[in-house]
Amino acid sequence: MDELSAGGWFEPVRTESWRWSIDLTAQQARALFRTFSDWSNREVEAVGRAVADEGGTVTEHYRTVLHLLRGSTAVPQI
């Protein structure tokens, strides 16, 4: 929030945060990791095997943060 409002163009309103998760099959995990540009095919396949070895599904945990700001009424001078 500090970084977003530092220029004076926006005023903080509030921040919301949610935790959520999704269960992925080995195939879905492979598909997800293939979207990562720095992962090789060998690494992606290793992820799929690891998921299969762990029972066929893995849970990915996430946290989503939403910062709400409004335009400042005092626009800074450029």
Tell me: the pLDDT tens digits for 16-46? 999 999 999 999 999 999 999 999 999 999 9
Question: Do residues 44 and 70 lie in contact, with contact meaning Cβ atoms separated by under 8 Å?
Answer: no
Residue 49 has a pLDDT of 97
pLDDT band at 78 (very low <50, low <70, confident <90, very high): low
Residue 41 has a pLDDT of 95
pLDDT band at 72 (very low <50, low <70, confident <90, very high): confident
Q: Where are the domains of the chain?
A: 2-71
CA atoms of 11 and 14, how far apart (whole Å): 10
Residue 33 has a pLDDT of 95
Residue 74 has a pLDDT of 74
Q: Is the pLDDT of residue 76 over 80?
A: no
CA atoms of 41 and 54, how far apart (whole Å): 20
Residue 75 has a pLDDT of 67
